[in-house]
């Protein structure tokens, strides 16, 4: 027989409305009572009817997460953490990929707006004006982008970029290339602003570039022609592609050129040489974004980044 909400209430010794709130608004239920109700529900095999609950509460308990490129190893830890945070709060999380296309991003936001209670936009590519317009359709939290009036989670890439360039300067590099990311990227602009603040460095900006290994590989010739001894890349994928491209041009890393990436993805740790990089708190960002979305908190939070020194940097010849 199907277990009903009344069965759970009777077995828990509480009113039906308390069971309902435990699933629809858990923050409104005493912790001990909530634990007892959830335990009984699990023992009885009770599962709330989401469709019925949506009709009475106006909430679907569905969330959306839109990322710029799901193939980029930067995103899976963030997606996994966001999914776990949503599931812990009894929400379903749907993930979509824009393939770095602003138009696809806007279409997805519009499609999701009718099916979810809110969205997390990670590294969005749309303009601020477009995002502000879309925010009128559905609540969302933005990761790695400042947007007026929206809750934002920022991984402090500027601080990490400054540490990276200071590391190169400390090794003795004086002419450093910044292999930037896509045109209009907030992250790329933050990296450049921070890198330009490091004293004693002549910064050569090479870009825009695709945020992929292919983008880094294609930039190798321009890096060689720039006559630099150190490079900060937009992300680890660009750095890995750049190292391969420099190798084909006869330049060794780090003997001829030192390279620093950003993100600290797994392939960078497996690359040869192992990649010096800026570690980004992706999992923490995913969890926090979901929490802000569910709690409907409009705040800007910045998460700390750190430099991880490995084998791709050394003093210049």
First CA to last CA distance, the chain = 77
pLDDT by residue (tens digit) across 76-87? 999 999 999 999
Which range is least confidently modeled, 90-94, 161-165, 279-283?
90-94
Does residue 251 sit in the same domain as residue 114?
no
Question: Is 313 domain-assigned?
Answer: no
Range of the domain at 122: 62-155+283-305
Task: Write down the pLDDT at residue 271.
Answer: 93
Question: Is 317 domain-assigned?
Answer: no
Residue 51 has pLDDT above 60, yes or no: no
Does residue 181 sit in the same domain as residue 239?
yes
Task: Show Cβ contacts of residue 206 under 8 Å, excluding neighbours closer than 6 positions.
Answer: 177, 178, 179, 180, 219, 222, 223, 226
Does residue 148 sit in the same domain as residue 258?
no
Question: Is 68 domain-assigned?
Answer: yes
Cis peptide before 63 (omega within 30 of 0): no
Does residue 166 sit in the same domain as residue 149?
no
Question: Is 167 domain-assigned?
Answer: yes
What phi and psi, each to the nearest 5 degrees, are found at residue 215? -65, -40
Does residue 274 sit in the same domain as residue 182?
yes
Structure tokens at 21: 């709130």
Structure tokens at 47: 């599962």
Question: Is 53 domain-assigned?
Answer: no
Question: Is 55 domain-assigned?
Answer: no
Task: Write down the pLDDT at residue 148.
Answer: 83
Task: Write down the pLDDT at residue 114.
Answer: 83
Structure tokens at 313: 């940097």
Domain tally, the chain: 3
Residue 156 has pLDDT above 90, yes or no: yes
Question: Is 87 domain-assigned?
Answer: yes
pLDDT by residue (tens digit) across 61-76? 899 999 999 999 999 9
What phi and psi, each to the nearest 5 degrees, are found at residue 35? -65, -40
Q: CATH no. for residue 146?
A: 3.40.50.2300
Listed in sequence order, the DSSP H helices in 182-281 are 186-196, 213-226, 236-248, 266-270
When pLDDT is cut at 50, 70 and 90, the band that residue 270 belongs to is very high
Residue 22 has pLDDT above 90, yes or no: no
Task: Write down the pLDDT at residue 116.
Answer: 92
Does residue 37 sit in the same domain as residue 95?
no
Does residue 167 sit in the same domain as residue 258?
yes
| pLDDT over 90, % of the chain | 74
Three-state DSSP class for residue 61: coil
Structure tokens at 136: 């009128």
Separation CA 51–CA 73 (nearest Å): 35
DSSP-derived letter for residue 245 is: H
Question: Is 311 domain-assigned?
Answer: no
Structure tokens at 19: 């069971």
Does residue 289 sit in the same domain as residue 181?
no
Does residue 164 sit in the same domain as residue 125?
no
Helix (H) / strand (E) containing 263 = strand 258-263
Distances (CA, A) of 249 to 178, 207, 221, 244, 270: 19, 19, 8, 9, 22
Does residue 100 sit in the same domain as residue 166?
no
Helix (H) / strand (E) containing 276 = strand 276-279
Does residue 289 sit in the same domain as residue 150?
yes
Predicted TM-score (pTM) of the model is 0.80
Residue 55 has pLDDT above 50, yes or no: no
Q: CATH no. for residue 27?
A: 1.10.260.40
Does residue 38 sit in the same domain as residue 69?
no
Q: For residue 304, how many other CB atoms are within 10 A of its CB?
A: 12
User: Is the distance from CB of 307 to CB of 275 less than 8 angstroms?
Assistant: no
């Amino acid at each position: 027989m199907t277990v009903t909400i009344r069965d759970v209430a009777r077995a828990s010794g509480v009113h039906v409305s308390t069971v309902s709130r435990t699933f629809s608004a858990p923050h409104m239920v005493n912790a001990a009572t909530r634990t007892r109700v959830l335990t009984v529900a699990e023992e009885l095999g009770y599962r709330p009817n989401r469709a019925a609950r949506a009709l009475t509460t106006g909430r679907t308990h569905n969330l959306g997460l839109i990322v710029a490129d799901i193939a980029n190893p930067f995103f899976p830890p963030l997606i996994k953490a966001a999914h776990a945070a949503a599931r812990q709060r009894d929400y379903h999380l749907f993930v979509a990929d824009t393939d770095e296309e602003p138009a696809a991003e806007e279409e997805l936001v519009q499609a999701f707006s009718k099916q979810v209670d809110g969205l997390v936009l990670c590294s969005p590519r749309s303009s601020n004006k477009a995002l502000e317009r879309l925010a009128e359709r559905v609540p969302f939290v933005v990761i790695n982008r400042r947007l007026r009036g929206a809750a934002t989670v920022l991984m402090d890439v500027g601080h990490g970029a400054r540490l990276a360039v200071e590391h190169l300067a400390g090794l003795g590099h004086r002419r450093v290339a910044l292999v930037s990311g896509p045109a209009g990227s907030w992250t790329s602009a933050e990296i450049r602003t921070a890198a330009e603040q490091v004293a004693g460095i002549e910064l050569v900006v090479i870009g825009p570039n695709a945020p992929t290994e292919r983008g880094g590989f294609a930039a190798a010739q321009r890096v060689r022609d720039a006559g630099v001894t150190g490079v900060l890349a937009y992300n680890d994928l660009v750095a890995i592609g750049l190292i391969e491209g420099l190798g084909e041009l006869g330049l060794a890393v780090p003997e001829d050129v030192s390279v620093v990436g950003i993100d600290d993805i797994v392939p960078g740790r497996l690359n040869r040489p192992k990649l010096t990089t800026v570690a980004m708190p992706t999992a923490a960002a995913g969890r926090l974004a979901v929490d802000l979305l569910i709690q409907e908190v409009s705040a800007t939070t910045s998460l700390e980044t750190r430099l991880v020194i490995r084998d791709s940097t050394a003093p210049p010849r």
